[in-house]
Each structure stands twice: as structure tokens, then as C-alpha cells.
Amino acid sequence: MGNLFFVTKNKYLSKIFQELRKLLKKLILLQNQFLEVPLNIYNVYLPLKICFMTNNPKKKLRYDKAYLRMAKEWGNLSYCERKKVGAIIVKDNMIISDGYNGTPSGFENCCEDDHDTTKWYVLHAEANAILKVARSTQSCQDATLYITLSPCKDCSKLIHQAGITRVVFNEKYSDTSGVDFLLKAGVMVEQIQL
């Protein structure tokens, strides 16, 4: 089930969160008997944990919007004509990676064919950002992905396997099965309008 914990200097609050976690586990077991999409400790406890860890929700929203604006600006670097998508990965309040949709290294910077169809080998922004981290000394574990367009189902698998625990996006992709998968996997997903 994973080790979720809450660190606080206040021992009273720490004890409350330990008890809350135990109660949530019991509630989840009961709820899963009646729900179509089963709950797990991550998609119930993690949002609560993040909510209490953030002392100032307005400040959190301000930073979320700032990172989304950076992702949007990064997406403008894409050579794709149909859709320009940008992604930023943030861990411990630091940007550890970025990416935009485009062709792999060494290929021509043309994403669409003569019929205005996206070429099959074009990489999505979030895949590019995750692959950059894979080539570095960093890790995506417990990071937040900021992306201008909600992830597709293939990229959602990469996001989950990379250990990203939160995804913030601006626009919704036409196929929402990627977001549905992330929620089922326990990744926190939020849409924030710019």
C-alpha cells in the first residue's frame, strides 16, 4: 500500500494524521464494495495531506498557475502546428525537467505530414520531460507534472511508472481515459484554468 507519512513539528497534529490515516484505510475498504472505481489510500489521503502541508492555499494556487504559464511558454517552442503542448516537472519547489511535443533527436523538426496528420513518432511533452529526467541524476518520485493539455492514456502510464504523484493541467484532452487511469492509480489530478 505504500508508506505515506505526515511530518510536522506539532506532535498533536502528527498523532491526528496517524489516526486519520487508519480510519481512511477502513473507510476505503468499505467504500470499495460499492464503487465502480475503487479508492485507494493515495487518492484519498494524499490530497488531504497536501492540503494540510500547504500553509497558504492562495500561495499554492499562485505557484501552480506560474508553473502552468511556464509550461505554456515552453510549449511555444514546439514545431508542431496542430497543437503546441508544454510540460514542466517540479520536485521540492524546483524545476527538474521540461519538455514540449516534437520529433525525437536527430529527426526533422516537422510533426505533421502532407495531410496535416501528426506523425506516429512525435513525442508528447510529458514523455519528453520524463525522458529528460531519466537521462539525468534526478528522479520524478513524488514530483508534480504541470502540463498544458491533460495526458493521453500512453503518457499516463509513463507518469504513473515515473513516480509522479500530482498532475496539474490547463486544457482537457478529448480522450479523458488518461486522467481516469491516473486517478485510479492514485495520482492526484487537477485542472487549473489560466
Catalytic option among 108, 112, 126, 190: 126
* DSSP code at position 80: -
CB 59 within 8 A of CB 93: no
Concerning whether 126 is annotated as a catalytic residue, the answer is: yes
Burial status of residue 185 (CB atoms within 10 A of its CB: 0-12, 13-18, 19 or more): middle
The helix or strand, by DSSP H or E, that contains position 171, with its residue range, turns out to be strand 166-171
| Residues ≥6 apart with Cβ < 8 Å to 88 | 67, 70, 71, 74, 95, 97, 98, 129, 145, 146, 147
Q: Distance from CA of residue 172 to its chain's centroid?
A: 13
- The residues annotated with a catalytic role in the active site are 126
